[in-house]
């Protein structure tokens, strides 16, 4: 499978615990995005990387959230001290940057439930 | 600020009916891209079309067609002769450097 891969697909955690999600983009894609989607809403932008550089972070990304893309390939999104409001689907996408704004390809997401 | 509005929360049709999903956007950028994505019950977002701000030609792909009107900041999506498999949530999105999504329109096609 050469698409965007996310792991795990589902995560249930107790409030206050830390969680980490992984995203493996399409191999030749240099841009990687994280989005969050709650029930009945569209995906909300969290942050994106171009290669290993984190170029933008949304105000939605509180201090408890951190994302990394250390070698410009896979990325991790960590949530510290999880809260019930963090329950959502976390989507990763990748694309090729360049003069033409290409479409982003999305993974199947990680569904987080905080109990 | 960039914003995408999909005023239709849910649409229900009977198979073979035509249906149009509305999308209105706001941006101050002169160069931008508009997208439609489909999210079936499985949850994965599936890319349908990209259109840049300088190309107002309408596009048809099989039963799908898109009407881009810059004057009204709209990028509407029509499905002709809808099928049950078209049932999904459809998102319109705007991009200058990152995708900004609307809230989506849930389409239910009944047999």
Q: What is the pLDDT of residues B25-60, one digit of tens each?
A: 999 988 899 999 999 988 889 999 988 888 888 888
Q: Is the peptide bond before B36 cis (omega within 30 degrees of 0)?
A: no
Asked whether the predicted pLDDT for residue B84 surpasses 60, the reply is: yes
Q: For B63-79, give the DSSP string.
A: TEEEEEEGGGTEEEEEE
- In 3D space, the residue among B34, B40, B81, B76 whose CA is nearest the CA of residue B53 turns out to be B34
Q: For A47-69, give the DSSP string.
A: EEEETTEEEEE-TTS-TTEEEE-
Subunit contact B91:A43, Cβ cutoff 8 A: yes
Contacts of B59 (CB under 8 A, 6+ apart): B49, B51, B65, B66
**HSE-up (13 A, CA, CB side) for residue A30:** 8
Asked whether the predicted pLDDT for residue A112 surpasses 90, the reply is: yes
Residue of A nearest to B103 (CA): A42
Write out the H or E segment, with its range, that includes residue B97.
none
In the stretch 17-76 of chain B, residues with CB closer than 8 A to chain A read: 33, 35, 37, 42-45, 47, 50, 52
- Mean pLDDT value across chain A: 92
Q: For B4-49, give the DSSP string.
A: EE----EEEEETT--EEE--EEE-S-SS-EEEEEEE-TT---EEEE
Asked whether the predicted pLDDT for residue A69 surpasses 50, the reply is: yes
Residue of A nearest to B43 (CA): A108
Report pLDDT digits (tens) over A86-111. 999 999 999 887 645 578 899 999 99
State how far the Cα of A17 lies from the Cα of A26, in Å rounded to an integer. 30
Residues of B in contact with A93 (CB under 8 A): 45, 99
- In 3D space, the residue among A75, A77, A98 whose CA is nearest the CA of residue A26 turns out to be A75
């Amino acid at each position: 499978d050469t698409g965007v891969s996310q792991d795990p697909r589902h995560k249930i955690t107790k409030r206050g615990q830390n969680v980490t999600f992984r995203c493996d983009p399409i191999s030749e894609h240099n841009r990687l995005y994280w989005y969050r989607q709650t029930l009945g809403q569209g995906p909300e932008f969290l942050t994106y990387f171009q290669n290993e550089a984190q170029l933008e972070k949304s105000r939605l990304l509180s201090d408890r959230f951190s994302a990394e893309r250390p070698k410009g390939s896979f990325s991790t999104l960590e949530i510290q001290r999880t809260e019930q409001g963090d329950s959502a689907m976390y989507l990763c996408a990748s694309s090729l940057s360049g003069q033409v704004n290409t479409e982003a390809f999305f993974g199947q997401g990680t569904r987080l439930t905080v109990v | 600020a960039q914003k995408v509005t999909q005023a239709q929360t849910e649409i229900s049709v009977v198979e073979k009916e035509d249906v149009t999903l509305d999308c209105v956007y706001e941006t101050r950028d002169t160069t931008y891209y508009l997208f439609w994505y489909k999210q079936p019950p499985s949850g994965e977002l599936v890319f349908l079309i990209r259109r840049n701000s300088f190309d107002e030609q309408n596009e048809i792909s099989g039963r799908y067609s898109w009407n881009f009107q810059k004057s009204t900041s709209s990028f509407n999506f029509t499905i002709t002769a809808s099928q049950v498999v078209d049932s999904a949530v459809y998102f319109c999105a705007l991009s200058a450097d990152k995708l900004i999504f609307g809230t989506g329109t849930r389409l239910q096609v009944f047999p």
